[in-house]
Amino acid sequence: KKRPPQTMALRSIARTASTTAHRAVGARSVATLPDLPYGYGELEPVISGEIMELHHSKHHNTYVTNLNLATEKLADATEKGDVTTIVQMQAAIKFNGGGHLNHSIFWQNLAPPGKGGGGEPEGELADLINAKFGSFDAMKSQLSASTVAVQGSGWGWLGYDKATNSVAIATCANQDPLEATTGLVPLFGIDVWEHAYYLDYNVRPDYVSAIWQLANWEDVAARLAAAK
């Protein structure tokens, strides 16, 4: 049976609107590789320019690329009602989305020595650390030990607990994002995937010990303020 022209026109408009909306949603959700707030070589001698370039332009960029592919597949599957693919995409989005979120924080958490990197936190951040751990050195020791002890690949974090207005230490496996998996707002993270340090350090403890020289406490304090 031939459909009336009006019906065909309406369906064509609906398809066009659906496609346009789908593209608009996709355009809004596209992740991009953030620029670093310093040059690749500016974190030396703690982290070499070579490993920073590989870590940022290769590893982080791969997470961004794969996150965009996964979110596009998810959008297509959602539009088609393809529940199997929707479920399949969750792991890829968690891994690559977590990798993108974690590294975007990590770059900002660091600063060149003498240009904001190192030292100790001040103000409310210092007060919360002292209240929870007794001192900055005690927090530093506990976070270092927890991070070194991560089995395989993962992250060590200082996070903020909104419910108790306190800071806490947590670790996450692989690229699991801190807030989505624990509820803690990420303040300061240490990446202990081998790609973060294998060219510069033979063992993880040496890398974790050295990275405190780059800690950007101004950025960490700003994250705390934004979380409150």
Is-cis flag, bond preceding 112, omega within 30? no
Least confident range from 3-7, 127-131, 202-206, 224-228: namely 3-7
| DSSP line for 172-205 | EETT--HHHHHSPEEEEEEE-SGGGTTTT-SSHH
Structure tokens at 121: 């936190």
pLDDT at residue 19 in the model: 40
Using DSSP's 3-state secondary structure scheme, residue 147 falls into: helix
Round the average pLDDT of the chain to a whole number and report it.
90
pLDDT higher than 60, residue 55: yes
Using DSSP's 3-state secondary structure scheme, residue 137 falls into: helix
Decide: residue 15, CB within 10 A, 0-12 exposed, 13-18 middle, 19+ buried: exposed
C-alpha distances (whole Å) from 171 to each of 28, 29, 33 are 31, 28, 24
DSSP-assigned beta bridge partners for residue 119: none
pLDDT at residue 126 in the model: 98
Amino acid sitting at position 189: G
pTM: 0.86
CB 33 within 8 A of CB 61: yes
Cα radius of gyration (the chain): 22
> What CA–CA distance (Å, rounded) separates 50 from 41?
8
Structure tokens at 186: 């990420």
pLDDT classification of 41: cutoffs 50, 70, 90: very high
Of 124, 180, 135, 134, nearest to 157 (Cα)? 180
> What CA–CA distance (Å, rounded) separates 84 from 89?
9
pLDDT at residue 30 in the model: 84
